[in-house]
Amino acid sequence: MTTNIPVQEPGHNEPGVTDEASNLELKEVEGLSQGQIVRRRFFRHKGAVIAMIVLAAIILLSTTSVGVTIGPWRTPGWWPFTWDALTPVENRTRPSLAHPFGQDEVGRDIFALVMRGTQQSLSVMFIAGIIATVIGVVIGALSGYYRKAIDSVLMRFTDVIITIPIIVIGAVLGVAFGSLGASVLGVVIGLFSWTSLARLVRAEFLSLREREFVDAARVAGARDRRIIFRHILPNTVGVIIVNSTLLMAAAILLETALSFLGFGVQSPDTSLGKIISDNQAAFATRPWLFWWPGLFIIAIALCINFIGDGLRDAFDPRQKRMPSARALAKGKGANAVTGDVAAANAPIASDLSERDGGQGTR
Amino acid sequence: MATFVIRRLVASFFVFLAATYLMYILTALSGDPLEDLRASTAPNAAQLIERRIDLLNLDVPPYLRYFIWLGGVGGCFIGQCNLGFNVQGQPVLEILGQALGQTLQLVTFAAIVAVVIGVIIGITTALRQYSTYDYSVTFVTFLFFSLPIFWVAVLLKQYIAIGFNDFLRQPTIPPLAIVVIALALGLIAAGIAGGDLKRRLIAGGTAAVVTGAALAYMSATEWFLTPSLGIVVVALTAIGLAFAVTAISAGLRNRRALYASLTVAVLAIVLYYPLQFLFVSMTLPLFLGLAIGTILLSGAIGYFWGGHDRWQSARTAAIVGFLTAGVIALDEFMSYWNAYSNSSRVRGRPIATIGAETPNLGGNFWVQGVDSFTHLLLPTIALILISIASYTRYTRSSMLEVLNQDYIRTARAKGLTERTVLVRHAFRNAMIPVATIIAFDIGAIVGGAVITERVFAWTGMGALFQNGLERTDPNPVMAFFLVTGTLAIIFNLIADLVYAALDPRIRIS
């Protein structure tokens, strides 16, 4: 920490933020709208920006290479093989020029399979993320805004869902609905992973509803719906966005874990977890069946986690970024902003939900 | 307080009742429990089907069958537990007992190690915020956090188990590997040490040289075939521990505490040879008794050395005693390593990848201990890698939050030593939220190792759940859920109470 601590200005109540630091902060956000500040801070987080580019590249690669299959429709891709076509085994299934990721024992092209699996995992992730966010926000908002009986009922309902480990509910429902495909699996995962978000949104609402601007809106004659959605909700958007990304990272790990256990996506379709599970026994002889799907899972989850971290840095009004001595010196000299200080000084609430993600998938 | 606990428990009870109903219906409706018999060509298939229907009450529809099950569970309150039977006709209660034992064995050690390492890394990164070390750890934590555990587990099986077992045939470390490992550890040490260039160079250099020398010695003497510490290393470690623990827990300036720790360390060294006679006929109760006795005795030594804060000396001495006893026990376990790995059941490939123990191994307490260790090693590493990330992040943010508080500045301003500020003022307060997280995690952990158990073929709670689910067999699934759900509720409550007890600003009502 700093060794020389200047006196704080009266009325300046952020502990630990020195004058120099807060001046730098002020200079940085002068004359900018909220959106601009958020964008700026996000783009300063190098890890998050790189993660976003990588994720976009993965999405583009997986959708264009083997094409997208929705029901009976299938768009063509530039890759010569499709994920379900059997091709003659070449080069004893080892990676070759024609099949850079190799083939499995029946001759399916691993690159095409991994691309299909990536599509499936991504769609599970996005569907689960959207559904969980909507449910979590609505339940949290109603519960926090109305309190009393509605709060009790909704929170007890949330407790019922929390009590059931998500991998358990995912497995039970995966057995029943997994054969219906990745999108249904995504819906199922989404329906049961909104609990942490609902709790966080509720907590935000409980404190925001006591603020003056809510009173002002009520006195002006605004209805409950307007107060909830136009006045309070925009103030909670940081918490919501950050936790939705973390939910999505958890969803993709959960989907692959369920498919690995055989409770997720079923044959003949495939997913990243399923490719690993199918080829687990062949690891000693054909490790590439194993490395590629795993690397794609890690890449996607890592990207989402980094984007979530960048968003947390960008949105969190509580963040206290103590610039390093070097950055302070630089700021003094050239009036520059502290560009290299990007690591998360994460607040506890969002770390809590970060935990929730890992928990279910041990 | 009492009303809070009671109200909470009553509400949780009804919530849990609803959750079990939901689970039961979902499991029962997820498939056909008679599938295997229907496809069977056995001449008495019809009879078998009838018997199973009879045993599991399959003629009752699930939404009513639940109440039969609930009645059996209700019997637990009057001492007649009946959790039903699984499809093979075994009573679930019996299987549950075994499964719970295996899972606890698996997760307890992993949880403790993950918490300790996670907290240490979290604190060091918080103290060296925005350093290269901090950035690297942040990246690695994110990476661990994004790892699918089944993938890690299979990799560990392949590379560590098979790789290390092959390594034992020719247990020499190539010089290049020694240099790389030593340099890596040196870099980490330099990162943790922080400060100016000189300090970092000294710390990094020392760590690198010591590691390199130790590895070279191990390689030259084929240490991995017959590992042991011996009296010299035990003695050095004991003295080192005495100084290190005192420096952190009481400060080296507290002479009484230091003398107490050194007394304990010297006592341990003196008792090293006499203890060997006791070790020959070791049993588990004796082992645990010795551990507790060591803590009490060392605590008493610390207490009688006294000083201005008796309990501080007692605590310091007790920690030193416990750790030193651990080192001596480790030495004893190591002395059985060779016998273990050359036994007819193990045949020189000690790192196991399947199950919880080598069947029909025999041997005494120490050999059994080594056997558990080799079976626990890989799943424990996998579990630790995954769960360490959240503890690290959590401790780091909590510690940073505390370090930015005004009372820390006050403590520094009034001239307290850095150790007192960090250990007494910062660390204790930073641990409040972490403690609640740990309490919360213990509740979740019993059911949380489903995938790890599957990859390493442990027949624990995860297997109970998974096999039940695959056969559409609600009773084992519900037994799993009953245990995990109850633990989750109880430890959630404990987490809240712990928070209120540790932080007087929080009132529960």
Measured in angstroms, the CA of A267 and the nearest CA of chain B are apart by 16
Q: What is the SS3 assignment for A69?
A: strand
Q: What is the pLDDT along chain B (509 residues), one digit of tens a residue?
A: 788 888 878 888 888 888 888 888 888 877 777 777 777 777 777 787 887 787 777 777 878 888 888 888 887 777 677 777 777 777 888 888 888 888 888 888 888 899 999 999 999 888 888 788 888 888 888 888 888 888 888 888 888 888 777 777 777 788 888 899 999 999 888 888 877 888 888 988 999 999 999 888 888 888 887 888 888 889 999 999 999 998 888 888 888 889 999 999 999 999 888 888 888 888 888 889 999 999 999 999 988 887 777 888 898 999 999 999 999 999 888 888 888 887 777 777 777 777 777 777 777 888 888 888 888 888 888 888 888 888 888 888 888 888 888 899 999 999 988 888 898 889 888 888 888 778 777 767 776 678 888 888 888 888 888 888 888 888 888 888 888 888 878 887 887 788 777 777 766 65
Position A71 scores a pLDDT of 65
Nearest of A298, A138, A56 to residue B386 by alpha carbon: A298
Distance in angstroms (rounded) separating the CA atoms of residues A307 and A59: 15
Which chain B residue has the Cα nearest residue A319?
A: B401
The answer as to whether B199 is a domain residue is yes
Interface of B with A in 397-416 (CB under 8 A): 397-398, 400-401, 403-406, 409
Q: How far apart are the first and last CA of chain A?
A: 36
Consecutive 10-residue averages of pLDDT for chain A (362 residues): 39 47 61 78 85 92 79 73 73 71 76 87 90 93 86 82 73 68 83 86 86 90 88 84 85 85 78 83 76 89 87 65 50 40 36 40 55
Distance in angstroms (rounded) separating the CA atoms of residues A249 and A246: 5
Distance in angstroms (rounded) separating the CA atoms of residues B477 and B152: 26
Show Cβ contacts of residue B35 under 8 Å, excluding neighbours closer than 6 positions: B472
A vs B, Cβ pairs < 8 A, gives 188
Phi, psi of B85 (to 5 degrees): -120, 160
Judging contacts by C-beta atoms under 8 Å, the chain B residues touching residue A343 are 129-130, 134-135, 138
Position A18 scores a pLDDT of 52
CB contact under 8 A, A362 and B451: yes
**Range(s) of the domain holding residue B332:** 111-387
Judging contacts by C-beta atoms under 8 Å, the chain B residues touching residue A298 are 143, 146-148, 151
Distance in angstroms (rounded) separating the CA atoms of residues A135 and A197: 9
Measured in angstroms, the CA of A66 and the nearest CA of chain B are apart by 25
User: Number of C-alpha atoms within 13 angstroms, CB side, residue B448?
Assistant: 29
Paired strand residues for A235: none
Burial (CB < 10 A; 0-12, 13-18, 19+), residue A49, is middle
Distance in angstroms (rounded) separating the CA atoms of residues B187 and B134: 13
Nearest of B385, B30, B146 to residue A125 by alpha carbon: B146
Q: Cβ of B196 under 8 Å from any chain A Cβ?
A: no
Distance in angstroms (rounded) separating the CA atoms of residues A272 and B426: 44
Tokens 């006791």 belong to: B278
Report CA torsion sign: A36, A38, A41, A47.
Answer: negative
Structure tokens at B382: 């996998």
Show Cβ contacts of residue A7 under 8 Å, excluding neighbours closer than 6 positions: A19
The answer as to whether B177 is a domain residue is yes
Q: How far apart are the first and last CA of chain B?
A: 7
Distance in angstroms (rounded) separating the CA atoms of residues B457 and B353: 8
The answer as to whether B173 is a domain residue is yes
Q: Give kind and range of the element (H or E) at residue B32.
A: none
Distance in angstroms (rounded) separating the CA atoms of residues A151 and A133: 18
Domains in chain A, CATH or no CATH each? 34-322 (1.10.3720.10), 325-362 (no CATH)
CB contact under 8 A, A163 and B154: no
Q: Are B92 and B62 in contact (CB under 8 A)?
A: no
User: How far is C-alpha B104 from the geometric centre of its chain's CA atoms?
Assistant: 9
List C-alpha distances in Å: B317 to B245, B271, B273, B424. 9, 16, 21, 18
Nearest to A361 among B31, B451, B454 (CB): B451
CB contact under 8 A, A343 and B138: yes
Nearest to A324 among B130, B397, B469 (CB): B130
List C-alpha distances in Å: B159 to A280, B145, B155, B337. 14, 21, 6, 21
Distance in angstroms (rounded) separating the CA atoms of residues B469 and B492: 26
CB contact under 8 A, A305 and B145: yes
CB contact under 8 A, A355 and B19: no
Which chain B residue has the Cα nearest residue A255?
A: B148
The answer as to whether B162 is a domain residue is yes
Nearest of B264, B234, B466, B475 to residue B335 by alpha carbon: B234
Paired strand residues for A202: none
Q: Give kind and range of the element (H or E) at residue A70.
A: strand A69-70
Structure tokens at B393: 């992040």
Nearest of B139, B152, B133, B121 to residue B386 by alpha carbon: B152
User: Number of C-alpha atoms within 13 angstroms, CB side, residue A160?
Assistant: 15
Structure tokens at B20: 């079990």
Q: Would you give the DSSP letter of residue B322?
A: H
Reported as a single tens digit per residue, the pLDDT across B323-372 is 999 999 998 888 888 888 877 777 777 777 777 777 777 778 888 888 88
Structure tokens at A311: 């968003």
Question: Strand runs (DSSP E) across A221-351, as ranges?
Answer: none
Q: Are A323 and A336 in contact (CB under 8 A)?
A: no
Judging contacts by C-beta atoms under 8 Å, the chain A residues touching residue B139 are 47
Position B284 scores a pLDDT of 85
Report CA torsion sign: B119, B124, B128, B134.
Answer: negative
Distance in angstroms (rounded) separating the CA atoms of residues B357 and B101: 13
Nearest of B225, B121, B113 to residue B167 by alpha carbon: B225
Distance in angstroms (rounded) separating the CA atoms of residues B90 and A94: 47
Measured in angstroms, the CA of A232 and the nearest CA of chain B are apart by 26
The answer as to whether B471 is a domain residue is no
Reported as a single tens digit per residue, the pLDDT across B107-151 is 888 888 999 999 999 998 888 887 888 888 888 888 888 888 888
Distance in angstroms (rounded) separating the CA atoms of residues B386 and B148: 8
Position A46 scores a pLDDT of 83
Distance in angstroms (rounded) separating the CA atoms of residues B316 and B320: 6
Nearest to A163 among B142, B145, B489 (CB): B489
The CA angle A264-A269-A273, to the nearest 5 degrees, is 45
Nearest of B213, B190, B215 to residue B128 by alpha carbon: B190
Neighbours of B61 (CB within 10 A): 11
Nearest to A172 among B441, B445, B469 (CB): B469
Distance in angstroms (rounded) separating the CA atoms of residues A24 and A18: 10
List C-alpha distances in Å: A47 to A37, A304, A306, B135, B221. 18, 11, 6, 11, 46
Position B208 scores a pLDDT of 92
User: How far is C-alpha B375 from the geometric centre of its chain's CA atoms?
Assistant: 14
The answer as to whether B78 is a domain residue is no
Nearest of B288, B293, B287 to residue B364 by alpha carbon: B287
Nearest to B29 among A176, A261, A290 (CB): A176
Structure tokens at A39: 């964008």
The answer as to whether B409 is a domain residue is no
Mutate to test the interface with B, among A18, A54, A163 (most CBs of B within 10 A): A163
Overall number of domains in chain B: 1
User: Number of C-alpha atoms within 13 angstroms, CB side, residue B89?
Assistant: 8
Position A50 scores a pLDDT of 92
The answer as to whether B213 is a domain residue is yes
Neighbours of A187 (CB within 10 A): 17
Phi, psi of A69 (to 5 degrees): -110, 115
